[in-house]
Structure formats: structure tokens, C-alpha cells
Structure 1
Amino acid sequence: GLGDVAGALPASFAARGHRTMVIAPRYLNGTKNDALYEDVEYTGKNITVFLAGEDVTVGLYHLFKDGVDFVFIDHPSYHRDGGPYGNAYGAYGDNLFRFSLLSLVACEVPLQLELGGYNYGDKCVFMANDWHSSLVCVYVASKYRPYGVYKDARTVLCIHNMAHHGTEPSTVFPELSLPNEWYGCVEWVFPEHMRAHELDKGEAVNPLKGALVTCDRILTVSQGYAYEITTPEGGFGLDGLTRGRQHVLNGIVNGVDIDDWNPATDEFIPDHYWPGHMEGKAECKRQLQEELGLQQRPDVPLIGFIGRLDWQKGGDLIQDAVHNHGLLHQDLQLVMLGSGDPEFEDWMAYCESEHQDRFRGWRGFSVPVAHRIIAGCDIILMPSRFEPCGLNQLYAMRYGTVPVAHATGGLKDTIEDFNPYAHEMNGAGTGLTFSPFCEKAMMGSLNQALDTYRHHKDQWAGIQQRGMAQDFSWDRSASQYEQVFRWAMIDQAYA
């Protein structure tokens, strides 16, 4: 989700006339992904900052694409096997250094780097995404504004997942290169039940907390999630702060790339279709069934799940539905694409061996396969415990695939619940949601969807058509971001 935002939203800002820059690490891990930097050029500019008790020098690389300046920060700490945050052994031990370096250099780039003959200057809006760049807000408030720099700039914290704070032991505070009097800004004390032992005081530094108390505005990726992070269940210990700043808290649903996710032109699906010409969707379903080794039956409902196999995504509800509610004893087919919890991956293999004619589990992730599942399935199942925004339901609706989802966060905001009796029995809604979070509620909504698919074809077609008519473009989202930026510039700097 965050990668989609960083790739697509800036281009929409640029198309609307804004000078836009994206700053990110130059990740190199010795895989084919390194080729993504082929067109990126070294600017000849290095920046040195004081961090972790020493001068740290980084190189700046640049790519101008779709009207956006993409600036990549090059440092050895970003060159290693694995992903951006960790590898098979867990999170990297120096993540706080890596992302505080990103944040501090991001504050220097608009001042020092000339692009097109001009730098960006100190009157700008910083949009810091999640804890990884949250220290931008803290650095601007503590190291720049007191000296008259960035006094006309504003910082906006965008929270994509409140569960991740970037906390580290309090002993690392000196490595952040913050003034000593700013310790209270990032100070965090874990509650007793989360401490390692009785002598553990729970003292830590929390970058996300620091951003919440210094940023000028707070955004989340849906209005529903903006509310949820103010509750004890969704605030993960920071709900007191978010409630105290509700007056500057907004939610904006992510968009989708309407060129990449378009059933009329999608390069990854075997046939194309669009509203009023849905024959291609039936062919996509037939070929997906053939690819998966399932019976090629147009009448059987095909259900898909795409996502991480972890606690958040609610895969355990699907397990309960299979074992306790006879889901796979119905005349249907189910395909799951994802990776994560090894025990859940093993369960998928077991389930496939027990229900060879009705279940397929695809371990791992593949963009082309995800496109084919979205296009070929009749229903996308999303039983997430919490979902800040969610993208699969947006993709599904564009492809005439009906989402059945837990009524939480962005899922609740973007899916209008199906009502067959609305508009003189013509129906309304773009999908089905369930609440509370339990297998019985999920099965109730799923069975309603299956009944509608099997016995009320006109109503089903109506759900598909209404979903495909929704506007989830990034341009719609960008206009809402602009309003938040205007509000930020009107208000006085918060810290």
C-alpha cells in the first residue's frame, strides 16, 4: 500500500501543478530489483549530517519521471540482502539509524539539492509516511524552526499502519542527534504487561509518538481508520494522543492506478471486458480455473483471497469456516494467494490435499497471478481484523468482482453494503460487509453473496456494475490531500 502511494500519488500532485519530490533510500540487495535503478543518475551531490555521534555522508541520486523528482539516498546501510526492513532472521538491528538518517537527510535535501537550477527551499509541505520517516516532523520542530528555517513549512504525518511505532530502548536517544531537552517528545514507557521482567522500567523512544506531538496535521488512509486510531483497540497505546489531536486528524482513502488496474486493458489477464461487455470476465474465470487445475464450471462461484497469511488479515476465520461451518462442503471453489505464517502455509497445503476439487493454495506472491485472481473470481474475501485502507477491494470492484469484507477501516468506507430492497427492488450497494469479527458473521454475509450469485443474477449484475462505476482514481485522492495541505498552511506551526 505504501509503495503504491509513493509511486502514484506524487504523479497526481505533479499533474495538478505542484512541484513534487519523493525521497527514499536507494535499496540494493543483489537481486533483479536492483535493475529498477538503471535510469537513476548520481547528482554529484553529497550531504553530510551529524547522526549517532558522528558525521554521516550520503550520496544523492535522481530520477525525473511523470513530473516528479525522485531522490534516492545512497548509504551502505541500505545495501544488504533481504527487504527494506528486515530479512529471514527478522528486523534489522539498525533500523532506527537507517530511518533517522532518511528523515534527517530528507530535511536537508530541499535546502541543498538544486534540481532544474533551483532548490525546493524551506517553504514546502513535508508528508512523512509511518514511523520510518516520522522523525522528519521531530527534526523540523527541534533542529530547524528554532533557527528560522522551515518556519513557513508544514509537516503532515500520514499513518498507514498504527501498529508499528519503531520503538527502541531509551538508551539510543543520543543516537538521534536531537537536543537533550527534546527527550520528552519521543519518550515512551511501555505498560507493565509489556515489559520483559520486573526490573524492566519499560523506558523507550518512540518515533511515531514524537511525530504525533510535533506534526502540523495527521492523516490516515481512510476516514474509518482515522476514528479507529483514537480508540484503545486501534491506537496501540497512542490513542490518548490521537484523541487529543482529533481537530487536525483526517482520513483520505487511497486511490488505485487506473491504468495498471483496468479490465479493459490489463496485460496480465487472458481476456478484456468492461461495463456492458462482461463476456471477457467469464473467459478470465474459465482460464483461471484451468490454470489452477479446478473444474471449468461457469456456474460454480469462485472465491478468492489475496494477502499476507498473518493475524491481521483474518485467515483464521477462513480456517474456522472450513472446519466448523462446512465452507468447502458447499458447491464452490476457493483460491488463496499469499505467504507468511508457516503453519498457515502448511494448512493451505493440507486443505488442498483434502479438497482437491474445491481448494487451491498458492504460496508466495505474484503480481500477474493477483491480477488473474481479481479478474477471474466472482467474490474476493477480506476478513481483516483491521484494515487501514485496503486495496484489493478497490481492485475487485473495478473488475466486477464482489468484495465480502469485515466492516473495519477502509473496507467499511469503500464498500457500500448490498441492499436488495433499495430503489424499488433494483438494489443498492457494491459488496457485502460483516460485523462483528467472527466466523458466524462472515459466513452470514458470504452465504448471502453466494445465494445472490446463484439465484438472483440481475441483482448480482447490479452489484458488479455499481462497483465498476466507482471513482477510486488517485486524482480524487490528490484533491483531498490538497485541502489538508491548505488547512496546514493556514494554521500556525504546531511545534
Structure 2
Amino acid sequence: TEIDSVPVYLIDNEKFLSYGSIYLDKSAFVKDLDEMKRFLFFSQAVIQAIPSLNFNPDIIHCHDWHTSFIPGLLSVSPQKKHPKTVLTIHNIANQGKWNAEEILSFLGLSGIEWPALTHHTPDGSLNFFEQGISMANKLTTVSPAYAGELLTPEYGFGLESIIGQRKNDLTGILNGIDTERFNPAADPSLPFKYSFKNIGEREKNRTELLKKTDLEISPHSPIFGFIGRLAIPDQKGVELMASIADEFAKRGAGVIFLGSGDEMHRKLLLDVDKMFPKNFFSFIGFDADFAQLMYAGCDFMLVPSKFEPCGLVQMMAMRYGSVPIVRKTGGLADSVQDIKCSPKGCKGTGVVFKDFNQHDLREAIDRACKLFQQKHFYQSVQQNAMSADFSWNASAQKYIELYQSLIL
């Protein structure tokens, strides 16, 4: 098929690809051999498809552990000319590890075809991410700050040393969003359209959002939203938010959670709902239209992540005028500027806090509530946020420059 005149080839296979969700476990972390085989089969199919299509790519761009074997497999393929490879690290915490003997058997390899294949974990596993990091010509990740964090023990998840050996080949390029599709002035899922020029219209979406919940809050109280994955380990800060539920309740604020995932966090959120029924509403699952209404109706969007390679929620929130509350980490640090207000107005696009703990998050909530009570300051920050450019234009140019460095 073609998308915008670009040929797109789809690979299908009944045994390995054509069943279940993309990831076989809700957490998106590997739980069984079938998932490893799925992505190994796909990686092999990509390499074998190239000569069959009479296609000679200059570069193959791989993403995360799922295609991290492609650079290595490509190095031993019989093709005369091997394309250059780029590997993008989206989330180093999810590495793809499995018993080396089973992986090598599936691939038909002896285990000495390239140097990294001989590196096994203490329990005899192969780390897929390590294979790609070792063998790709260039490495990228999804924000400049996360590129630096990957070199540290706190954020490298055991691969900081091998990434450090490749640090001169590592580039952090911030993700973007589709600003034409996600546009509050034209979003078909919104009951009321608006832009930063008529920000007052946004209030009508807030009213519609409240109608879809059982929150009982004053019109002068802020609504905080959370949209994200519920998973173990708790990257997104769900447990941290739940631990300070009293902070929202004592301020009369409303909090709306939208997310799906593991049972433990689902139960945790429902327990908070029961404890503070007037202040908390949890939508367990995912509904794209409800998510858009949250972006257009919540006064603040909570993104208190323990780590966040890039994050799109804060970008979407700013696009729709929902002021983000973020921890200073990864892409959150690169995309949200902390608020500083003076009598003349406010600079910045969101509330930024430093450490992943109750004290700092409570302080951030306090700052947000005070800002909300000063409507002229709050609307100034909204307009700053909505004016920020998170299109792909600048990032696409950086990828072009990276590709050119490999082939020119």
C-alpha cells in the first residue's frame, strides 16, 4: 500500500504475527517465548524481503528491542551491500531478554556470528537491546535529556556501560505530535472547538467533561487529569498520585484517571474512588474520544513520571490548553518550561517539580491550585502552552541530518 505516496509493505504470517495484540502481555514486557519468536520472525522477514522486493535501502531504522536483532542479522546476511542501521531507544527499561539457547536455536545461529552474541546475562539469557546497541551504526533516543540519562545507573537499567561505549554515536531527538490531527480548533471529537485566541470557549468542554463523571466539585475548583498506562513497575507515578489523594480532596479539586493495564493499579484507583467519591473518577480502559475531551476539559494534566523517555501526554495537553504538571526528567524536562510569574504576566508552559516523592508533588499541586485562582495568570500560561510548537518539523530535520551523516 501507499501512504502519502510512500510505499508501505506489510508482513503477515499466521503462525507468528496474525493473532492477539501486538504485545502478548498487557504490560508490553516479555512474558513468554512466543513473543520473542514473533519479533525475531519479523526481523528475519524484513531482511529477506529486501532482495525479494528489488529494494536497496540506504538505511534501516530499527526501534526498541523488538527489532534490535536486525543490525546483527544484517551483518551476516548474504547480501552484497548492507544498508546502514539506526536503532532508536524508546524505553530502555523494556529490554527483551530470553534464554540464549532457545533464541539461537530459533535463528539457526551458533552464537559466535558477531561479538555481542557471546554476551549472556548471568542466567544464560540474551539481551535483545544489547545486540542492537552494540551493532547499529547510529543510536537515537526520543529526547536530549533522556540521552544523557541513559548513561547513568539510575536510568540505564544495566545497559549504561554499553551505551556509554557508544555515546559518540547517540543522539537525542525529541518526539513530536501530529498538530493537524490534534488541533482543538478542528478536532471532530470535541463538542466545542477553540484556539488560544478564543480560550474562553474551552470552558464549555470542561462542563461537558464533568457531565461524564460523578465528580462533585465547585466551578471554581480545578480539574486534574491523568492519561496513561497502568503497569508494574510504576513508571507513570500512579502509586505516587494515589498516595497523596488527600491533597486533592482537601483542596476540593477533581481528579480524572484514564488508563488500562494491571489489576493491582486498577484496584488501587478504584479504592481511591471509594475513599474520595466526590473528588475522584477513574475510567479503567481506553476511549480515544474521552481522552480528547480530557485534554480539552481538564485544567491540569498530571505527568509525574519516575522516568519518561519522551512522553506525548504533556505535548497533547499543552496543545489543548491543559497545563501540564511534570517531573523534571527525560522528555518532560525538554518539553515543559517551569512557570515564572510577575505582575506583567507569566513565562513558562507548566508546573515542573524535581524529585519523585510526595513532598515535591504536593508542592507542585499547591502551585497549580494557586495559579488556577489567578485567572489572568492561568490563562497566560495556557496561551504559552498552546503556542508551543511540538510539530515534527524540527525533529524531522534532525533525523534527515542523521541519515545524511551515514550515507554522504
> Structure 1 residue 180: deviation in Å?
4.2
Q: Does 1:230 align with 2:151?
A: yes
User: Per-residue CA shift, 1:357-412, capped at 9, x if unaligned?
Assistant: 21101111111111011110000001111111100100000011100011111111
Out of 431, 445, 468, the position equivalent to 2:350 is 431
Q: Which moved more, 1:204-213 or 1:384-393?
A: 204-213
Q: Quick one: distance in 2 between partners of 1:103 and 1:92? A: 18
- Equivalent positions of 1:142-181 (< 5 A) are 142-144=76-78, 148-150=80-82, 153-172=83-102, 173-178=104-109, 180-181=111-112
CA contact (8 A) 1:142 1:178 kept: no
- Count of residue correspondences: 403
**Residue in structure 2 matched with residue 319 of structure 1 by the alignment:** 242
**Residue in structure 2 matched with residue 55 of structure 1 by the alignment:** none
Q: Quick one: distance in 2 between partners of 1:410 and 1:130? A: 17
SS in 2 for 1:241: helix
Which residue identity does 2:9 align to in structure 1? V
CA contact (8 A) 1:382 1:406 kept: yes
Which residue identity does 1:466 align to in structure 2? N
> Structure 1 residue 92: deviation in Å?
4.1
Q: Quick one: distance in 1 between partners of 2:285 and 2:407? A: 44
Q: Does 1:308 align with 2:229?
A: yes
Which residue identity does 1:148 align to in structure 2? K
Which residue identity does 1:69 align to in structure 2? P
CA contact (8 A) 1:303 1:378 kept: yes
CA contact (8 A) 1:452 1:460 kept: yes
Q: Quick one: distance in 1 between partners of 2:266 and 2:195? A: 35
Q: Quick one: distance in 2 between partners of 1:141 and 1:329? A: 61
SS in 1 for 2:270: helix
CA contact (8 A) 2:310 2:330 kept: yes
Q: Which moved more, 1:267-276 or 1:201-210?
A: 201-210
CA contact (8 A) 1:186 1:209 kept: no
The structure-2 alpha-carbon separation of the partners of 1:88 and 1:208, relative to structure 1 and needing over 3 Å to count, comes to: closer
Gaps of 5+ in 1: 1-62, 114-118, 191-200, 491-495
Which residue identity does 2:20 align to in structure 1? G
**Residue in structure 1 matched with residue 138 of structure 2 by the alignment:** 217
SS in 1 for 2:45: helix
**Residue in structure 2 matched with residue 206 of structure 1 by the alignment:** 127
Which residue identity does 2:245 align to in structure 1? V
- Equivalent positions of 1:28-67 (< 5 A) are 63-67=1-5
Q: Quick one: distance in 1 between partners of 2:268 and 2:96? A: 32
> Structure 1 residue 328: deviation in Å?
1.2
> Structure 1 residue 76: deviation in Å?
1.7
The structure-2 alpha-carbon separation of the partners of 1:475 and 1:88, relative to structure 1 and needing over 3 Å to count, comes to: closer
CA contact (8 A) 1:85 1:91 kept: no
Q: Quick one: distance in 1 between partners of 2:400 and 2:336? A: 24
CA contact (8 A) 2:72 2:135 kept: yes
Q: Does 1:260 align with 2:181?
A: yes
Q: Quick one: distance in 2 between partners of 1:488 and 1:298? A: 56
CA contact (8 A) 1:304 1:373 kept: yes
Q: Quick one: distance in 2 between partners of 1:387 and 1:77? A: 34
**Residue in structure 2 matched with residue 97 of structure 1 by the alignment:** 37
Output the TM-score relative to the length of structure 2: 0.93
Q: Quick one: distance in 2 between partners of 1:141 and 1:434? A: 45
Which residue identity does 2:92 align to in structure 1? M
Q: Quick one: distance in 2 between partners of 1:378 and 1:77? A: 47
Which residue identity does 2:350 align to in structure 1? G
Q: Does 1:349 align with 2:270?
A: yes
> Structure 1 residue 450: deviation in Å?
1.0
Which residue identity does 1:75 align to in structure 2? N
CA contact (8 A) 1:285 1:298 kept: no
User: Per-residue CA shift, 1:341-363, capped at 9, x if unaligned?
Assistant: 32321232222233222110111
SS in 2 for 1:298: coil
The structure-2 alpha-carbon separation of the partners of 1:450 and 1:220, relative to structure 1 and needing over 3 Å to count, comes to: same
**Residue in structure 2 matched with residue 124 of structure 1 by the alignment:** 58
Q: Quick one: distance in 1 between partners of 2:222 and 2:119? A: 50
Q: Quick one: distance in 1 between partners of 2:360 and 2:305? A: 13
Q: Does 1:445 align with 2:358?
A: no
Q: Which moved more, 1:166-175 or 1:289-298?
A: 289-298
SS in 1 for 2:348: coil
The structure-2 alpha-carbon separation of the partners of 1:88 and 1:464, relative to structure 1 and needing over 3 Å to count, comes to: closer
Output the TM-score relative to the length of structure 1: 0.78
Q: Which has the larger radius of gyration?
A: 1
SS in 2 for 1:181: coil
The structure-2 alpha-carbon separation of the partners of 1:81 and 1:109, relative to structure 1 and needing over 3 Å to count, comes to: closer
CA contact (8 A) 1:252 1:477 kept: yes
Q: Quick one: distance in 2 between partners of 1:183 and 1:140? A: 11
